[in-house]
Amino acid sequence: MEISTTTPVAATTGSQKTPPGSGASALVETLVNLGVDTVFGYPGGAVLPIYDALYSENRLHHVLVRHEQAAVHAAEGYARSTGKPGVVVVTSGPGMSNTTTGLLDAISDSIPIICISGQVAKPLIGTQAFQECDAIGIAKTVTKWQTQIQSIEEVIQCTEEAYHRAVSGRPGPVLIDFPKDIQAELIDSSAKSSFREASSSAAISDLDIGQAVELILGAKKPIIYGGGGLINSGTPACDAFARFVRMTKAPCTLTLMGLGAFSGSHPQFIGMPGMHGTLEANLALHDSDLIVCVGARFDDRVTGDVETFAPHSKKIHIDIDPTSINRLVRVDVGLAGDCGEVLSKLIRALEKQARTLPEIQPWWQQIHRWQKVESLKFDTKEDTIVPQALITAIQNATVGTNPIIATDVGQHQMWAAQHFIFEKPGHWLTSGGAGTMGYGLPAAIGAQIAHPDKTVICVSGDASILMNIQELSTAIQHKTPVKLILSNNECMGMVRQWQEFNHGGRYSHSYTEALPDFVSVAKGFGWEAEQVSKPDGLDEAILRCLKHDGPYFLEVAVEKQENCFPMMPAGVPHNQILLREGEFYQDDTT
């Protein structure tokens, strides 16, 4: 065997540093120039040059998470609450592959994320080198764009392009795969990017706007249906939406992802639609003669059976993504463009009309009759806290403070959507399209990093919190005073509910045995923590939680068998709603 006496290329000494003119430094500098101020990540061998460049970079706040999935969820919470893209840095191999669930969540809910994954050195790619993976292949189905940097000359351009692709059009996650040798390579100090942002989509024709105006002016039973695209478009779009709703005097419903785009306390807001939406929202959609859909995509959780969805209505669809229009539900007028811009044009066109909007008072009288059913009403119990009462107690304790609410996924998520009142966009963080358990805590931490002076509350379930419970440590390290309120029913509540309704009550593996002592676990991570199980102690426990200066873990033992209502069973029309146990409401007005 011949033994080489040359120093391996990868070998370094303790005194060496990543050069200031390296590819890694160029990446960091470009991020700063693009306005990035926060990065979520976890280091490893293939991104050490980037972490070395971050070592003395005081313009970027790096948040060390405990799992790469959580890095993406934290970046989502940051992005959703600020309107700016979230940035993630992870190492190669398992570091990159661990982000996949987070990236899936981000693309499902149109959240702008820039994920930078380290990669083995270019000569080793394809050799099954240590911690190598096909990052581009893995990312293709969970990102809207992905690229691998091939040369030092591409670093600045790829970073700029990734940023603009993440935020342009329908926002979403992008991936830059960055080989380690190029990270360490020196870059020409005069290097510049040749990236040019693509021109915006074609203007909407006056004819299309005119057709939409005619439908609005002719409607006797209109409903305005808004979604997460409004939040993504920003505050101006939400302001235009609110103006449009008030102008038309029509009822407004918002999807799970759209909550906060219009004031939840406004009398024109009739609640969330869909599987666990309010009776009045679902029946108004079903009986309407016009649906104006803004920034939503007619998701199956909203439409139910597409063939029977809103059978008597004309439909106008406003969406940034042209491929979303007519994909699931055929519409009469499709307006592809930014929600705020299209709504502004629509408002101006309506204002120019000599005709007044039609009288819809009879429509509102019908809606008020549905509201009197009180579909969100629930019964309390003397000795047990019901989950709806828990959410209502948090809502009452935070009136006027506009906290940021993050949730995990399951029954508690639906109860939170039903019983919290959101007045502004960016205050509701939840996983919609992917339904990702483990989202809530890291998303809350990301939002708290972005808004250190705001109250950020994570509502979680006993099954969901175990998915990313290690992030309790992240909150302590970065001094984020997140309030985590755990609704503990000792089971996977939504799974149990579906098994009860659809599988003959065969509760196959939906109950969790050997749950930890959550209070002790939280205290072990450095959180203040307590448990409450009786209704008469709930309000005071919530106040202690909210008033505490640091992170606080409040475990609330809730009724184990409680089901989430109202419920629109799968595959039925919107006029067939299960209100409560054994109480089925069917509307036959049409």
pLDDT in tens, 243-267: 999 999 999 999 999 999 999 999 9
pLDDT of residue 4: 38
Q: What does the alpha-carbon distance between residue 94 and residue 67 come to, in Å, rounded to a whole number?
A: 10
Pick the catalytic residue: 144, 180, 221, 483?
180
- Give the pLDDT confidence score for residue 306 in this predicted structure: 84
Position 201 scores a pLDDT of 55
Which residue out of 16, 17, 130, 423 is catalytically annotated?
130
The DSSP secondary-structure symbol of 185 reads S
Please tell me the predicted confidence (pLDDT) of residue 12. 41
Helix (H, G, I), strand (E, B) or coil at 461: strand
Is 180 one of the catalytic residues? yes
Which of 84, 122, 131, 249 is the catalytic position?
131
Provide the total of helices (H) and of strands (E) in the chain, helices listed first. Answer: 23, 19
Give the number of other Cβ atoms within 10 Å of residue 101's Cβ.
21
Note the pTM of the prediction, 2 decimals: 0.93
Do 38 and 449 form a contact (C-beta atoms < 8 A)?
A: yes
Structure tokens at 549: 């200066």
3-class DSSP assignment, residue 535: helix
Q: Which residues pair with 292 in a beta bridge?
A: 224, 316
* Catalytic residue flag (residue 471): no
Q: Is 483 a catalytic residue?
A: no
In total, the chain counts a number of residues equal to: 590
Q: Which one of 96, 494, 567, 568 is the catalytic residue?
A: 494
> In whole angstroms, what is the distance from residue 181 CA to residue 154 CA?
13
Per-residue buried b or exposed e for 471-503, using 16+ beta carbons within 10 Å of the residue's own CB: bbbbbeebebbbbbbbbbbbbbbbbbbebbeee
Residues with Cβ within 8 Å of 504's Cβ and at least 6 positions away in sequence, in order, are none
Cis check for the bond before 566: say yes or no (omega within 30 of 0): yes
Chain-centroid distance of CA 377 in Å reads 27
How far is CA 289 from its chain centroid? Answer: 31
492 secondary structure, DSSP code? -
- Sheet of 173-179, strand order: 61-64, 38-42, 86-90, 113-119, 173-179, 145-148
pLDDT at 580: 86
Tell me which of 29, 68, 280, 562 is the catalytic residue. Answer: 68
Catalytic-residue membership of 257: no
Tell me the C-alpha distance between 349 and 90, whole Å.
49
CA distance 144 to 166: 8
Lookup result for tokens 């391996």: 8
Residue segments in the chain with a per-residue pLDDT below the cut of 50: 1-15, 590
What lies within 8 Å, CB to CB, of 92 at 6+ separation is 44, 45, 46, 47, 117, 118, 119, 120, 131, 132, 133, 135, 180
Tokens (6 digits) for 120: 């083995």
Token pair 């059913």: residue: 373
Q: Is the dihedral of CA 174, 180, 184, 188 positive or negative?
A: negative
Instruction: Using only the alpha carbons of the chain, give its radius of gyration.
Output: 25
146 and 140 Cβ atoms separated by less than 8 Å: yes
**252/285 Cα distance (integer angstroms):** 10
345 is catalytic: no
pLDDT for 576 equals 84
Closest CA to 484 of 524, 453, 515, 455: 455
Residue ranges of alpha helices (H) inside 457-562 are: 462-465, 472-477, 493-502, 518-524, 538-547
Which of 292, 260, 286, 261 has its CA nearest to residue 273? 286
